[in-house]
Amino acid sequence: MSVDLLKLSPDEFKKIAKVVYDRTGIHLEDRKLSLLSNRLRRRLKALKMDTFEQYRKHIESAAGFKEEEPHFLSAVTTNETYFFRNEQLWRYFENDLVPDFVETKGKTKKEVRIWSAASSSGEEAYTTAIMLRELLPNFNTWNVKIIGSDISSKVLDMARAGKYNAYAVSKTTPERIKKWFDKVNADEFHLKPAIKEMVTFQFHNLRDEFPSGRFDVIFLRNVLMYFDIPMKKRVIDVVTKALADNGRLIVGDVDPIRTIPELSAHMTLSYQRPGVYQKLKTAAQGAANKKLVKA
């Protein structure tokens, strides 16, 4: 049978979904069967395989998964993003977060640490860099650390390159494009070194503890939707532990924490506004966070 006519059976879907979950923590719901079937057909063709079973056995091996990882993750996740996504969020960043940094850190340490979790091809992390460079007074006197992390080596390489198409900068003002990008042609824009150098990118699986210290802001936007409830809880614990006292967790447009009672009950951070939680330094909060760290 032609690969184009192959259909992923429910049984084989479950087996592939288990590989996905075991390797990445991403939960594939049954309704994704048709989508995954269509996307994996292209990989079967590229690898000259005849069945989904062959593909599944390939990625079940450590060597096979390492080889196929970037293609496999592209098939099961969506990495579409762009600079300044969600205008309301960046207004909050400008009007609330940066003034808070200036007030609480401007006369002492002057250090800001930000983690863009599941950073994809880097637009969110670099948008943060642009905002801080524009808004922090006497920017060169500040120690700014921005880390972007992702499970896909493919998108991390794209992020490090700092090269974007017209869609990626479609919500960026012409003034900012001129200031922070070199326009190669109508559909290619390269970030200038002043912004690229502010961000480092590294591999990280969100189910694992993040080893890079405590952060004032953690972005966790448009990623919790990929996990089941136990893994959502685990990821929430990982980012909560990685927050500094008074740090903010930003979960973005769709906030499952507020709509899923089990997650809301599990959350130890304080709800501040839609999509934003804070690690308050209070006696009760401290006790909760201490318990979390021990766990």
Residue-level pLDDT at 62: 86
Going by C-alpha positions, the residue among 250, 215, 239 that lies closest to residue 292 is 239
Q: What is the pLDDT of residue 242?
A: 97
Tokens matching residue 6:
């192959």
SS (H, E, C) the chain: CCHHHCCCCHHHHHHHHHHHHHHHCCCCCHHHHHHHHHHHHHHHHHCCCCCHHHHHHHHHCHHHHHHHHHHHHHHHCCCCCCCCCCHHHHHHHHHHHHHHHHHHHCCCCCEEEEEECCCCCCHHHHHHHHHHHHHCCCHHHCEEEEEEEECCHHHHHHHHHCEECCCCCCCCCHHHHHHHEEEEECCEEEECHHHHCCEEEEECCCCCCCCCCCEEEEECCCCHHHCCHHHHHHHHHHHHHHEEEEEEEECCCCCHHHHCHHHHHHCCCEEEECCEEECCCCHHHHHHHHHHHHC
How do the domains of the chain map onto residue ranges? Answer: 3-76, 87-294
Please state which CATH number belongs to domain 3-76. Answer: 1.10.155.10
Which pLDDT score, from 0 to 100, does residue 131 have? 98
pLDDT, position 69: 81
pLDDT of residue 138: 95
Q: What is the pTM of this model?
A: 0.85
Q: Residues 69-124: pLDDT tens digits?
A: 878 777 777 667 899 999 999 999 999 999 999 999 988 889 999 999 999 999 99
Residues of the chain with confidence (pLDDT) below 70: 1, 4, 78-79, 282-295
Instruction: Please state, in angstroms and rounded to a whole number, the distance separating the CA atoms of residues 97 and 114.
Output: 12
pLDDT of residue 78: 67
Where does 87-294 sit in CATH, by number? Answer: 3.40.50.150
- 217 neighbors 186 (Cβ within 8 angstroms): no
pLDDT score at 68: 87
